[in-house]
A and B are shown apart, each in its own frame.
Chain A
Amino acid sequence: MMPEYHRAVRPFQFVSCMELREVLGKRATDVSRLLELMEEVPSDAIYYHTHSFYLRHAYVQTLYPNDFATWVALYAHDRVLGERLGVLDPFVYLSLEALRQDIVTIIDDHLTSHPTVSRAMSSEPFDFIRSHVIETPLDRQAWTLLDFRHAVHEIEAGELYFHLCEARMRKTPGFDDFSHWLSAKDGLNMPGLAAHIQRVVRLGLNLEGMRARIVALCDAELMTTHGGTA
């Protein structure tokens, strides 16, 4: 006999997204120019080169998890600055302006202490790109933890990204949709599991890594409460 799973009052409604890339015509060939442009580009460009890097590289763990660090290390040939930018976690920030300010401070500090760096020209310029995220509502819903676990296991990268990453910056700063619904009284009312899932985004994984962790957390919860019927 199938166990009965706690059913939410309000289902989780899955939404996918796609990203349009708009080139801004702002191009840096050295770190000094990168810094100047960093201060003037729209915040959607900061978002593109940091947050949505995770959507573009959903399956890949690249050298560093943002475009600034990768370009500085590979094309401006400054590994030290690349490392300093590479360790930035965009999901810590509650606003894009705060993230921009920290990036500017790191580069400015580095150029001040290494004045010759800024003169190194890169063969491949850095082009600032602006992100436009387009939401795509889907029919998929989850009413129980089992539904949710199965859905997370099979949804496409755009859905994972929208609920885990996009939501943290654009919907409810600091909160992803999954943990929000899991902890809500009219959701599954499971604040413990929600707290674990909220931390997954901060581990430095790519989207596939995040998916695997969340599925594992759901499986562990199902094992505890229903004897492993996932």
Chain B
Amino acid sequence: MSIPPATAGVWPRCCIGCCPYSRNWESRLAGEVMTGSDAFYHTTKSFHNALQGTSQHITKAMFDAYLEINRENAKDLNLDADFTMIHDPQPAALIGSRPSGARWLWRCHIDVSTPQPTVWQFLRPFVSRYDAAIVSLPKFARRLPVPQFIVYPSIDPFSDKNRELTQEEISSVLEKLGVPTDKPILLQVSRFDRFKDPLGVAAAYRIVKQSHDCRLVLAGGTATDDPEGAAVLAEVQEAVGMDPDVQLLLLPPTANLEINALQRAATIIIQKSVREGFGLTVTEAMWKGKPVIGGDTGGITVQLIHGYTGYTVNSPAGTAFYIKRLLNEPERMEAIGHQAKEFARNRFLVTRHVQDYLGIMIHLARGAA
């Protein structure tokens, strides 16, 4: 059994994580990576944004370039496999080169619930020819004539972002980042994006700060290539003013160890999104045994069972309420953190991800779809 996940240049995080756990199968796992021109990458980037609901100008030449690159790759890639999993829109048109008798799955990692119609209308005929599609959440599904399975994303517990760290490693990273550990740390890790509501987190912190001494750390990506992100960051900076207990950290995308250390040093982790995909930052926090307070939206509601594996909230006031409750009750904080970790262990690790993929293949192999 060979499962070539072809992607345009980058393997999805979950697939890289799955590979080590697949080596013991009595099967052969192979990966193929697409190649393409700058025009193709520009086109597929525009597709990616359009499918996630951001209006894009797509020309006929871009559609033609997409088809041409798919045709060229189909000649070069080894697509001889019992099962082939094609990831995301970039290589979706490879379906035209499916060998006879092979079963092909389209794995969609992005939210295509509100796509730009022209792009979805272009892609839909290709996607409709697969044996099945796989989405990360029910709300990401589109109307299709093929079965659509739900496979939640997962984290790799041995990656730099999630592996166990010694206290020395944690202290060293925090010292380097200039984050003191003298007070309880409230942490949100996410882009400076309105959907992540960093202003709401700052508002919740101000309520809590009236009664509890604590620090707030907002760790996000650099916003240099994102005008909207830069504007949100400026608003957050203005909102927190000169408060010495608030730190805004701009980290590069490679700062996995830093994020790991911050999460492990945090007392409570917040993900107060008002709109969210799956929210793997929540999974990461749960895996570290931390109590998480998250926005009542998207995949966060799948992960945080209110009052058991964390709390879901709908406002800064709600966020502040549960921060105070947790700070007041260390035993509750510990219990929720423990339950969150066990929940993540059972449902959101890469081992479960591999099991789900195998289950779908078994299901299709039996001809049940």
Contacts and interface: CB of A to CB of B under 8 A. Distances in A.
A23 B136 CA distance: 10
A194 to B, nearest CB: 30
B120 interface: no
Interface residues on B, range: 20 to 34
Contacts of A109: none
A23 B149 contact: yes
A134 interface: yes
A21 B149 contact: yes
A23 B301 contact: no
B165 interface: no
A57 B347 CA distance: 10
A23 B346 contact: no
A25 B141 contact: yes
A134 B147 CA distance: 16
A134 B359 contact: yes
Interface stretch (A58-66, A84-92, A162-170): A58-66
A106 to B, nearest CB: 23
A113 B149 CA distance: 37
A127 interface: yes
A63 B309 CA distance: 13
B143 interface: yes
A20 B363 contact: yes
A61 B306 CA distance: 11
Contacts of B139: 27, 125, 127
A22 B147 CA distance: 7
A23 B309 contact: no
A59 B138 contact: no
Interface in B107-157: 135, 138-139, 141-144, 147-150
Contact of B143 (A20, A22, A25, A125): A25
Interface of A: 18-23, 25, 27, 56-63, 74, 123-125, 127, 129, 132, 134, 157
14 contacts: A20-B359, A22-B147, A22-B150, A23-B138, A23-B148, A56-B347, A58-B346, A59-B342, A59-B343, A60-B308, A60-B339, A63-B306, A124-B297, A127-B139
A56 B165 CA distance: 30
B308 A20 contact: no
A61 to B, nearest CB: 7
Contacts of A27: 138-139
A37 B297 CA distance: 23
B77 interface: no
A134 B150 contact: no
Given A23-B149, A60-B305, A125-B139, 16 more contacts: A18-B355, A18-B359, A20-B149, A20-B359, A21-B150, A22-B148, A23-B148, A25-B141, A25-B144, A27-B138, A59-B346, A60-B308, A62-B308, A127-B138, A129-B150, A134-B362
Contacts of B346: 58-59, 157
When A and B form their complex, which 6 residue pairs have the shortest distance between CB atoms, in order from nearest?
A127-B138, A21-B150, A23-B141, A23-B138, A23-B148, A20-B359
B296 interface: yes
A22 B149 contact: yes
A113 B92 CA distance: 50
